[in-house]
Structure 1
Amino acid sequence: MNSSLKKYTAEFLGTFILVLFGCGSAATAGGNLGYLGIAFAFGLSIVALAYVIGPISGCHINPAVSFAMLLTRKLSGKDFIGYVISQLIGGFAGAGLLYGIIHSTGKSVTNLGQNGFGAGYGIGITDLMAIVVEIVLTFVFIYTILGVTSSASTSAIAGLVIGLTLTFVHILGIGLTGTSVNPARSLGPAIILGGTAFTQVWVFILAPLIGAALAAGAYKWLNSGVKNS
């Protein structure tokens, strides 16, 4: 298997696992786990995957992360396309399996851990505030990734730091938007459920990409000249 195919396969597998376990925890046990439990389901997925597929693909499993890496010239245009396609397919497959698991009980499937906003979702923030929230959450998440992966001295703990950062942005974001910060995590459940989840998913594609671009720009400006070892 050539190196590119290995990387794309790893990104597919990682995104599949993230969506299945993260969104699955929210959809099947969210009432028992609470926001903190769901946040850790997403964060621990990243911790585990970072040390398994990180050496293969970098464990982006998120188009916003790949976009930031493209902007900071840590990922080629060809690999960016390959990564994003693999991530989107992985997210759809994870959401599809989750749908099948819930559907097998005979119950109507209305919850796949989808993101949202407005009346009836979380505390009911507006579409504009949902965009702002997702930009800020994504900025924090990706700025952390760029920082912790830039130095050999922090590479050994990078997976743990990134996973915990995803956890803490979820702690705030779950009650607001469900926390996307990842278009692939959002698009799969939205496509399968349709309805409001699908009509609102544009926010969870656009805002994370804006947040990623801002994080990349801030990192290049603020950290230029900083010595990494």
Structure 2
Amino acid sequence: MNKLIAEFIGTAVLVLIGCGAAVLGGEHIGQVGIALAFGLAIVAMAYGIGPISGCHINPAVSLGVHLAGRMSLTEMVQYWVAQFAGALVGALILLAIVGSNASLGQNGWGPGYLGEYALQAALLFEIVFTAIFVVVILGSTGEKAAPGFAGLAIGLTLAAIHLVGIQVTGVSVNPARSFGPAVLVGGTALAQLWLFIVAPLVGGALGGLLYRFNILKA
């Protein structure tokens, strides 16, 4: 239960800080600031709850960890429930602060959304960069990784991914992160949510299988 509470809190914090930076401070801090907010939220939670749950706070990461043989299917599903619930609560807190559901940092693509990239670009970005993210996570937390630096490596990677992709999709690489804001905003955000569930899970699976089949092995 401690693990699930940690995943719930961690995912809520990620949504609150990352999406909160985009909604409340985006005009002032810009794309670099938003990217750093997401990355620093991961760093904070990695050291805060990492010793308890491993700080997945991302269903795609939990899937990758499961496929790599590091957690059971039952535990993965339990993590998913905690993560989606945490993301929704984080988005609800942000909504209470903002006072409007017009923008809660929801992901998207196409006409009217940031760089107006096409569906194919959004799909490719989310699959490839989630796979990269999961590879970094599995590598930096492996047996032969440098101890104590995983949180920093993972947080910096997420920040770099945001620097590349904010204009493409707003960057999900995390189904729960997308779920919370989309459910509350509704409309196009909810209609497009399927991509931000499917693509990160495909990317997470690819990253996990690279370790499962010892293609990436120290």
In structure 2, the partner of 1:109 is: 101
Q: Structure 1 stretch 149-158 or stretch 82-91: which is displaced more?
A: 149-158
The 4+ residue runs of structure 1 with deviation greater than 3 A are none
Kindly provide the CA deviation profile for residues 151-178 of structure 1, in whole angstroms up to 9, marking residues without a partner as x.
Answer: 3542310000000000000101111100
Q: Which of 23, 45, 50 lines up with 1:49 in the alignment?
A: 45
Q: Displacement, 1:148?
A: 0.8
In structure 2, the partner of 1:212 is: 204
Kindly provide the CA deviation profile for residues 64-84 of structure 1, in whole angstroms up to 9, marking residues without a partner as x.
Answer: 000001101111112111100
Taking structure 1 as the reference length, the TM-score comes to 0.92
Please, which runs of 5 or more residues in structure 1 have no aligned partner?
A: none
1:90-105 to 2 correspondence within 5 Å? 90-103=86-99
AA matched with 2:125: V
Q: Is the 8 A contact 2:7 2:86 kept in 1?
A: yes
Separation of aligned partners in 2, 1:155 and 1:52? 16
Separation of aligned partners in 1, 2:132 and 2:43? 17
Q: Structure 1 stretch 111-120 or stretch 145-154: which is displaced more?
A: 145-154
In structure 2, the partner of 1:187 is: 179
Separation of aligned partners in 1, 2:181 and 2:214? 36
In structure 2, the partner of 1:81 is: 77
Separation of aligned partners in 1, 2:24 and 2:55? 26
What secondary structure does 1:168 align onto? helix
Separation of aligned partners in 2, 1:221 and 1:75? 17
The reply to whether residue 26 of structure 1 matches residue 26 of structure 2 is no
Separation of aligned partners in 1, 2:209 and 2:144? 22
What secondary structure does 1:179 align onto? coil
The reply to whether residue 167 of structure 1 matches residue 163 of structure 2 is no
The reply to whether residue 147 of structure 1 matches residue 139 of structure 2 is yes
In structure 2, the partner of 1:223 is: 216
Residue correspondences, number: 217
Please, which runs of 5 or more residues in structure 2 have no aligned partner?
A: none
Radius of gyration: which is bigger? 1
The reply to whether residue 37 of structure 1 matches residue 33 of structure 2 is yes
Overall identity of the aligned pairs, in %: 49
Aligned-residue CA RMSD (Å) = 1.0
Q: Displacement, 1:217?
A: 1.9
Taking structure 2 as the reference length, the TM-score comes to 0.97
Kindly provide the CA deviation profile for residues 70-129 of structure 1, in whole angstroms up to 9, marking residues without a partner as x.
Answer: 1011111121111000000000000011011111xxxx4311000000011121111122
Kindly provide the CA deviation profile for residues 183-202 of structure 1, in whole angstroms up to 9, marking residues without a partner as x.
Answer: 00000100000000000010
